[in-house]
Amino acid sequence: MTTFRTIVFWFLWYSQIARLSDILFRNGAIVIAYHRVKYSADVSNQSGPSMWVSRELFEWQIRYLRKKFSIKPLRTVESGRSRGVVAITFDDGYREMKKVGAYLERKDIPYTLFVPGQIREKNKIFWWDLLWRGISQFLSDVNDFLEPHQQISDFERPEKSFESISARIRSGSVKFDEIHFIKFLQSKNDRTLLQPHHLSEREMRALSMNKKCEIGNHTIATRVS
């Protein structure tokens, strides 16, 4: 049954059927969720390619949204018929939110930032960031953490390998051994591999002073390492 559900899930995802029907029949507001915006090359070293958009693309998208939609704070978006309304959100509270927030404030655009409490309390790293840092720098070694039938054969394409493995982890078909993977990264004697890249408490407080920013709590179900 798990295999069948996985096949159906990925069929709907890649065929875009679910997204197309949502767009055609949507009457409510659109909520756009971002994770990271690439303001420096370091971002691509810290998180996988599916986790961020470039600064140029992000700012183009904001200009387009301002022109075509009415951008409202998430808390003011009502259920029902709200066609033409957009709410912008960011997940996880990565450090470049300082620059993103300053940009949106200059453009007078409201947004909501969702921060997982566990990240702030434990000062830890999401499993997908750990995975990317390992794959992007030590791709051939990652097979030691996978079953034989799940191992990577194309060592020239870390982006493809990351997307494939992370998708299987999310679907439950692959179990990610975070404890052993952390020990593996520690063995490389590179402190940056295990360095969190989230807003500090002081940075969070400063961001909360922005009248266009609302901060909410992310799901407690998110695993951290």
Say if 50 falls within a structural domain: yes
Say if 6 falls within a structural domain: no
Phi, psi torsion values for 126, nearest 5 degrees? -65, 150
Q: Would you give the DSSP letter of residue 110?
A: -
Say if 21 falls within a structural domain: no
Q: Are residues 205 and 190 in the same domain?
A: no
Give pLDDT, residue 167.
80
How many domains, the chain? 2
Q: Are residues 115 and 160 in the same domain?
A: no
Q: Are residues 52 and 92 in the same domain?
A: yes
Give pLDDT, residue 190.
78
Q: Are residues 132 and 72 in the same domain?
A: no
Q: Are residues 144 and 110 in the same domain?
A: no
Q: Are residues 105 and 93 in the same domain?
A: yes
pLDDT tens sequence for the chain (225 residues): 556 666 655 555 555 545 545 554 455 788 899 999 988 777 777 888 888 899 999 999 999 999 988 999 888 886 556 678 889 999 988 889 999 999 999 999 999 999 887 655 566 788 888 888 887 777 667 666 666 656 666 555 777 777 777 887 778 777 777 777 788 888 887 777 777 788 888 888 888 888 888 888 876 444 433
Q: Are residues 190 and 203 in the same domain?
A: no
Q: Are residues 108 and 137 in the same domain?
A: no
Say if 224 falls within a structural domain: no
Range of the structural domain that residue 181 is part of: 127-194
Give pLDDT, residue 165.
77
The reported pTM is: 0.74
Say if 68 falls within a structural domain: yes
Say if 222 falls within a structural domain: no
H, E, C per residue of 140-169: HHHHHHCCHHHCCCCCCCHHHHHHHHHHHH
Half-sphere exposure for 212 (CA within 13 Å, toward CB): 18
Q: Do 3 and 172 form a contact (C-beta atoms < 8 A)?
A: no
Say if 137 falls within a structural domain: yes
Give pLDDT, residue 222.
43
Distances from the Cα of 76 to the Cαs of 72, 80, 102, 207, 221, in angstroms? 7, 13, 22, 20, 26
Say if 170 falls within a structural domain: yes
Q: What is the CATH number of the domain that holds 93?
A: 3.20.20.370
